[in-house]
């Protein structure tokens, strides 16, 4: 039985989503398109198999091929990121971070992590999360110029003496100095952790420096810039391997999703190819063009600009519109972005001052500098003409025409 016959409602929704993705422009920094090969692995019969445990140490029989798949994924990831040990079982980035916390911390232990509104991630200690109810998070912020102040970070570390110091971000657009960060942690005897979820693909593509040799533990998602399936991964020094594997299973998760692990293995192979390096270079080029064009249109960029794949824009300070309002008007012309808090935002998380704009997905489609300039022009035009339905309809047609010239990989 195929999907169309078994469940026509879901089939029709799937077709509509394909059309939305084909005819719309995806500028959410954490989204991307996987290859046909990754999709095939993700939709494979490996989804039928329970594989609690690790290769060679499973609790169920019938693991000859799942063991090979997971071992391949591990070896490919180790080579790609020069890691001593890799666990590919985390179901996503948030579980990966929780697994690390439970592996190296006791309830009440102190963690120094980046404030969410200054570019950090929800799982880095925001009060609404489970982690913040278990561990004692102290959050550091960026300086008035929007950059990370290492002197202030050192002062805070010496004052708080955390057991774990956490770097990484979801909306910070500048490159972190790995050595400086880890040197500060050494002064207070803290374990070092880096969440590279957003930039893993740029690291694999050799356009950003690799944090793995510097940090004790590195976590990541396998989607976003890495162009793999939605999932997580933990890379660490050998001394933390046993604790992390035990914290993952049986500590936090049951059996891994083996279809997902297979898709990760495929993505890691793709990320090791020369063509992927070309993709990563183009992502950074496109982001710099977007930075300059947005500045030319009078938008205020947080952190002064970008070193990676995205920009964070203060649209309220620039144009008098909230991030939610901009997200809605851009949806009308087929451009998808996400509203986002800016440092010390006076507005609410559901109606913040900023939007986050990323270029990984459009770069995967083959768009380059010329197209990015046009995209910036459309964003500005949509905001300026937001009350003119006819103008927005015209922009929507133009966006759709460009998208049809750059099909998504399905």
Phi, psi (degrees; rounded to nearest 5) at 234 = -125, 130
The answer, yes or no, to whether residue 144 has pLDDT greater than 80, is no
Mean pLDDT computed over 254-278: 98
In this structure, what token pair is assigned to residue 216?
Answer: 């004790």
In angstroms, the CA 181 to CA 87 distance is 24
Calculate the alpha carbon distances from 205 to 6, 83, 177, 210, 272 in Å.
41, 15, 19, 10, 8
From the list 129, 143, 127, 196, the residue with the least C-alpha distance to 166 is 196
Active site residue 297: no
Handedness of CA 205, 206, 207, 210 (dihedral sign): positive
DSSP annotation of 252 reads: I
In this structure, what token pair is assigned to residue 358?
Answer: 């990323």
Residue 62 falls in which region: left (phi positive, over 0), alpha (psi -120 to 50) or beta: left
Handedness of CA 398, 404, 405, 410 (dihedral sign): positive
Strand partners, 301: 313
Q: 221, 222, 225, 364: which is the annotated catalytic residue? A: 221
From the list 114, 122, 82, 69, the residue with the least C-alpha distance to 257 is 69
User: In this predicted model, what pLDDT tens digit does every residue of 292-314 receive, in sequence order?
Assistant: 999 999 999 999 999 999 999 99
Q: What is the CATH number of domain 13-29+279-405?
A: 3.90.1150.10
Q: How would residue 392 be classed by pLDDT, with cut points 50, 70 and 90?
A: very high
Active site residue 224: yes
The answer, yes or no, to whether residue 216 has pLDDT greater than 90, is yes
Q: How would residue 117 be classed by pLDDT, with cut points 50, 70 and 90?
A: confident
Active site residue 52: yes
In angstroms, the CA 80 to CA 86 distance is 11
Between helices 150-160 and 178-188, what is the axis angle to 10°? Answer: 20
Active site residue 371: no
Contact 218, 166 (CB under 8 A): no
Phi, psi (degrees; rounded to nearest 5) at 235 = -120, 140
Handedness of CA 83, 84, 89, 92 (dihedral sign): negative
Q: 26, 70, 115, 195: which is the annotated catalytic residue? A: 195
The answer, yes or no, to whether residue 1 has pLDDT greater than 70, is no
Do 13-29+279-405 and 38-271 show the same overall fold? no
What integer best gives the mean pLDDT of the chain? 96
Active site residue 221: yes
Between helices 274-296 and 369-384, what is the axis angle to 10°? Answer: 40
Contact 354, 323 (CB under 8 A): yes
In angstroms, the CA 143 to CA 337 distance is 26
Q: What is the DSSP string of 134-158?
A: HSEEEEE-B-TTSSB-HHHHHHHHH
DSSP annotation of 301 reads: E
Q: What is the DSSP string of 218-251?
A: EEEESSGGG---S-EEEEE-GGGHHHHHHIIIII
First to last CA, the chain: 21
The answer, yes or no, to whether residue 79 has pLDDT greater than 80, is yes
Strand partners, 155: none
Q: What is the CATH number of domain 38-271?
A: 3.40.640.10
Mean pLDDT computed over 358-362: 98
Contact 219, 197 (CB under 8 A): yes
In this structure, what token pair is assigned to residue 159?
Answer: 């004052």
Q: 76, 224, 227, 264: which is the annotated catalytic residue? A: 224
In this structure, what token pair is assigned to residue 98?
Answer: 């929780």
User: In this predicted model, what pLDDT tens digit does every residue of 7-61 receive, in sequence order?
Assistant: 999 999 999 999 999 999 999 999 999 999 999 999 999 999 999 999 999 999 9
Q: 11, 31, 49, 50: which is the annotated catalytic residue? A: 50
Q: 49, 78, 230, 269: which is the annotated catalytic residue? A: 230
In this structure, what token pair is assigned to residue 97?
Answer: 């971070």
User: In this predicted model, what pLDDT tens digit does every residue of 91-103 receive, in sequence order?
Assistant: 999 999 999 999 9
Q: 23, 52, 67, 154: which is the annotated catalytic residue? A: 52
Calculate the alpha carbon distances from 60 to 42, 165, 195, 277, 304 in Å.
22, 38, 32, 39, 53
Q: Are strands 232-236 and 217-221 parallel, antiparallel or unpaired?
A: antiparallel
pTM (2 d.p.): 0.95
In this structure, what token pair is assigned to residue 248?
Answer: 């993952």
From the list 166, 172, 155, 184, the residue with the least C-alpha distance to 110 is 166
Active site residue 336: no
Mean pLDDT computed over 277-302: 98
The answer, yes or no, to whether residue 206 has pLDDT greater than 80, is yes
What residue spans define the domains of the chain?
Answer: 13-29+279-405, 38-271
């Amino acid at each position: 039985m195929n999907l169309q016959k078994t469940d026509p409602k879901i089939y029709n929704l799937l077709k509509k989503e394909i059309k939305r993705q084909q005819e719309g422009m995806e500028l959410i920094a954490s989204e991307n398109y996987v290859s046909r090969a990754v999709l095939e692995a993700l939709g494979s019969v490996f989804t039928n198999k329970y594989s609690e445990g690790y290769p060679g140490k499973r609790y169920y029989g019938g693991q000859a091929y799942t063991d090979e798949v997971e071992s391949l994924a591990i070896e490919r990831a180790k080579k790609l990121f020069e890691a001593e040990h890799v666990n590919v079982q985390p179901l996503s980035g948030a579980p990966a971070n929780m697994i690390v916390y439970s592996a190296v911390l006791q309830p009440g232990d102190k963690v120094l992590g980046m404030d969410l509104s200054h570019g950090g991630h929800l799982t880095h200690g925001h009060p609404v999360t489970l982690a913040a109810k278990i561990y004692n998070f102290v959050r550091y912020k960026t300086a008035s110029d929007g950059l990370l102040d290492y002197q202030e970070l050192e002062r805070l570390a010496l004052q708080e003496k955390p057991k774990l110091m956490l770097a990484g971000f979801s909306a910070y657009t500048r490159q972190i100095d790995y050595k400086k960060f880890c040197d500060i942690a050494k002064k207070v005897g803290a374990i070092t952790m880096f969440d590279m979820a957003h930039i893993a693909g740029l690291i694999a593509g050799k356009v950003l420096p690799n944090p793995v040799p510097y940090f004790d533990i590195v976590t990541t998602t396998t989607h976003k810039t890495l162009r793999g399936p939605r999932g997580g991964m933990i890379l660490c020094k050998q001394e933390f391997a046993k604790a992390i594997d035990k914290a993952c299973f049986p500590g936090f998760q049951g059996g891994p999703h083996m279809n997902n692990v297979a898709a990760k293995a495929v993505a890691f192979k793709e990320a090791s190819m020369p063509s992927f390096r070309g993709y990563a270079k183009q992502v950074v080029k496109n982001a710099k063009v977007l930075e300059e064009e947005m500045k030319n249109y009078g938008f205020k960029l947080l952190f002064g600009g970008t070193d990676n794949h995205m920009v964070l824009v203060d649209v309220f300070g620039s144009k008098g519109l909230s991030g939610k309002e901009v997200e809605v008007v851009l949806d009308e012309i087929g451009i998808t972005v996400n509203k986002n808090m800016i440092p010390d935002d006076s507005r609410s998380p559901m109606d913040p001052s900023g939007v986050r704009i990323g270029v990984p997905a459009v770069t995967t489609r083959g768009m380059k500098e010329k197209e990015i300039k046009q995209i910036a022009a459309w964003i500005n035009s949509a905001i300026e003409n937001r009350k003119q339905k006819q103008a927005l309809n015209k922009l929507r047609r133009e966006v759709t025409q460009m998208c049809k010239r750059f099909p998504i990989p399905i």
